[in-house]
Amino acid sequence: MTIQTSYQDSLYAQQSQQYGSGTARALRSVAPPSTTSAFMQFIHNTGKFWKKFFTHTIPDMFRNPITPIKVIVRLLLLIIVVTLAICLWNYAKGLGNNDTVQGFVNTQAAVNKGQQRVNQLSSSSSSSNEGFQVNPINQTTTPSQRNILKNLQPLTVKQAAYLDNVFDTNSGISQQLALGCRSFFFNIDYLNNDMNRENFSRPYEPALLYRDNSGNLTSRNSGALDNAFQHLAEYGFNDQMPNHTDPIIVFLHFVRTPDKLTETDKYVTFLKKVSLSLNILNNHLAKEYYRSSRESDIFTQDIHTFDTKILIGTNIDTSYSRQLNASGSLTLMEDLDYKINFHYYKEGSDPIDATAISTGTTNALIIKRTTLLSLTGQQREDWLATHKNKFIIMKNEPSNVLNPAEVGLLLNTLGVNIVPYDYINTPLADARNVKTIYNGSFRMKPDILIT
């Protein structure tokens, strides 16, 4: 016992000499001198190693003569430096998406702007809360023709939940419903790379995004589909909303999807997540029209058949989802095809997002704004003759703003059913004029365009 005590005292005296009496006392309060001496020796040797590494080993790698090991070390160091630079660059880009100290995009200013616009447009027309409006130029249309879906032109939102460069799924959906809109475009997209997680979805996650005409991201955050559908279910049939018993039409418009052939797993997962996000709407879905089983007659039904219901259409071919369900690879709730009431297609190979090409008889078509507005004279007459009996959806460019004259031409002359419009961000006078053209949530086509 005396020998052990003398040994510890000797080590303590050595520590006092090397590090000072204060440090030695602090070390002794933590552990016996024999333990702390070994630890301090380890720290000392480690420090010597790294000092030698940076002052001798690394510099020696860049001195002549050049050897194979030196070449390998140089390449490894280059890879490390480049990787660090990329990480720092991505981190800096992520910070650039933040608006507040906490990193979250502040949507309050956009929410306030949206509410102001709702108030301005709601007070601009005494009939803004009326659900169905018969066009004054309709003189001979019978009651049985008036309310069928293909003869109606619903007030349609260009991008659901989108306000002023930001998505707010709560206020965005409620404000758009408060405007009287019962028809919504959900433009679904995804990010290829990781961005600020506080504002944006994960890569390959289906989300609401807004891009300009060149495909550059312009929205400062993304909108979550499940949240948007949750608020649509919460507010859509709330008696505080105008026309709250009228049907709602949802267009699941896929701007992009992972490639079905080269990214099959990601494609399947992408559609599965969209399907699962719709589950919150189950109580309002038109189940008798699932799997587009009555797509041929859905547009000839009286719209009031679907009161308090949500109709879902999409622009992609969902047969692959149905096949995976049949084989047991997807559950019914994961099968997007199961919940779709109708499809709409494009004519020819002219690109319109991820839209499927019409290969036979179709009931609904999506056509570019530029194509429709360029029709003149005999071209217009020919087009009307072949498309008069179709449900027509206009596809507008993200950055383009329709003026009231163009909206009037599309509705009154061409009989387009769906003209998506941004009522929040367009000039107030234009938005008022467009709202006046509709004069309600659902508008009838002119008599001459009704079949």
| Confidence grade of residue 25 (pLDDT, cut at 50, 70, 90) | confident
Q: Indicate whether 278 and 139 sit together in one domain.
A: yes
Residues 355 and 318 in one domain: yes
pLDDT of 120: 93
Q: What is the pLDDT of residue 196?
A: 77
Q: Does 102 map to a domain?
A: no
Categorize the per-residue pLDDT at 136 as very low, low, confident or very high, splitting at 50, 70 and 90.
low
Q: How confident is the model at residue 135 (pLDDT cuts 50, 70, 90)?
A: low
Indicate whether 200 and 306 sit together in one domain.
Answer: yes
Assigned domain for 245 exists: yes
Phi, psi of 112 (to 5 degrees): -65, -40
Q: Over range 116-135, report the average pLDDT.
A: 68
Cα torsion angle, 358, 223, 286, 238, sign: negative
* Same domain, residue pair 244 and 298: yes
At 10, the pLDDT band (50, 70, 90 cuts) reads confident
Task: Dump pLDDT digits (tens) for 39-74.
Answer: 777 777 777 777 777 777 777 777 777 788 777 877
Name, in order, each residue with C-beta under 8 angstroms of 40's C-beta and a sequence gap of 6 or more. Answer: 15, 19, 27
143 located within any domain:
yes
pLDDT in the model for residue 278: 97
Structural domains counted in the chain:
3
Which helix (H) or strand (E) segment is 161 a member of? none
Q: How confident is the model at residue 427 (pLDDT cuts 50, 70, 90)?
A: very high
| pLDDT bucket at 2, cuts 50 / 70 / 90 | low
Residues 400 and 429 occupy one common structural domain: yes
Examine the domain organization and report whether 35 and 155 are in the same domain. no
pLDDT at residue 103 in the model: 44
Per cent of the chain over pLDDT 90 is: 64
In a domain, 393, yes or no: yes
172 and 312 inside one domain: yes
Q: Among 26-35, 162-171, 409-418, which stretch is predicted with the lowest mean pLDDT?
A: 26-35
Residue 364 has pLDDT above 60, yes or no: yes
Confidence (pLDDT) at 405: 97
Give me the sheet containing 442-444, strands edge to edge: 132-133, 442-444, 152-154
- Residue 423 neighbours by CB distance under 10 Å: 24
Is 228 found in the same domain as 360?
yes
39 and 126, same domain (yes or no): no
User: For the whole model, what pTM was predicted?
Assistant: 0.76
286: pLDDT confidence band, cut at 50, 70 and 90? Answer: very high
Q: Are residues 39 and 151 in the same domain?
A: no
> SS3 for 312?
strand
Same domain, 261 and 331: yes
Residue 103 lies in a domain: no
Q: Could you tell me if 236 and 244 are in contact, meaning their C-beta atoms sit under 8 angstroms apart?
A: yes
- Domain hosting 79: range is 64-96
424 and 396 inside one domain:
yes
Contact call for residues 418 and 394 (beta carbons, < 8 A): yes
